[in-house]
Amino acid sequence: MKRLVLQELSYPELAEHLDEIELAMVPTGSQEQHGPNLTFATDTDRAYELAKLLGEKFFPRVLICAPVTYGISHHHMNFPGTITLQPETFSNILVDIAKSIKHHGINKILFQNAHGGNRSALGVAITRIQFELDMQAAWIGSGTDLSSDFWKEKGLSEIRGHACEGEVSQCMYLAPWLVKEQKLERGKLKKTPYQKRRWWGNVPWKFDHLTENGALGDATKATRELGEEMTQLILKRIGWFISEYFFNEPAPEENKLD
Ligand SMILES: [Zn+2]
């Protein structure tokens, strides 16, 4: 399958297609603990591999840029190895990337995010990019936030979203090098109000207050098949968004939503 992935191209190869590119996609991840189940590269590689599949779907109209490999992970700092940026640093990086994209004549940018901790700063960045740089900007998730109905239907863990069966399954399908197959553990949840999931406020939870081993959900239930099914659904939903919002045209039959 053909795709335009910046890290796989020379500049003359890119230049051949520059006129056809309408949208730049930038994956955003983290360097963050994922329990015993997955490596520190999880969010970055998961976002990047998903973005590459979208690059194939939309060749040559979408350019896939290199991922932002660090994110906002203050809430995981009590687990060894996690590295965090400050929210301002992270959003400034995204704005700088957008400026460069615009310099090369591409006026639309979509951040493909795979890390929950980045959400608020992504909101700040797309607001600045849209209104200060006069570009069309958005961000979209890569996992559970795009498939909660699917999770319900499959009867998977209610407390999920990090190193859980969903994320591990998606990695088994998209980026199996991230998965510690022999070490998979169910999340060892601590008793906190977080588990009630009935909140009207937003709280910056610390992960070591929520879980002993750094995981949520139950990674022992993860399968490649589940990951494939979930990823295909997510690709369809992101595909719909790209067509309808960025290209202002009806989504192709394969991405039509019910
Ligand atoms: Zn993750």
C-beta separation of 164 from 147 below 8 A: no
Q: Which pLDDT belongs to residue 198? A: 63
What is the CA(255)–ligand 1 centre distance, in A? 26
- CA 37 / ligand 1 centre spacing (Å): 11
Is residue 199 pLDDT above 70, yes or no? no
Q: How many Å lie between the centroid of ligand 1 and the Cα of residue 249? A: 32
Residue found by looking up tokens 């890390």 in the block: 115
Domains of the chain: 4-255 (3.40.50.10310)
Query: What burial class does residue 39 get, using C-beta atoms within 10 Å of its C-beta: 0-12 exposed, 13-18 middle, 19+ buried?
Result: middle
How far, in Å, is the centroid of ligand 1 from the Cα of 116?
Answer: 8
Angstrom distance (rounded) from CA 9 to CA 4: 7
Residue 145 Cα to ligand 1 midpoint, Å, equals 12
Provide the pLDDT confidence category of residue 148 given band limits of 50, 70 and 90.
confident
Q: Which residues surround ligand 1, an ion (CB under 5 A)?
A: 42-43
- pLDDT tens by residue, 56-109: 999 999 999 999 999 999 999 999 999 999 999 999 999 999 999 999 999 999
Confidence class for position 192, pLDDT limits 50, 70, 90 = confident
Report the C-alpha gap between 63 and 25 in whole angstroms. Answer: 6
pLDDT at 237: 94
pTM of the model: 0.95
Q: Mean pLDDT, to the nearest integer, of 192-201?
A: 74
The alpha carbon of 62 and the centre of ligand 1 are apart by a number of angstroms equal to 25
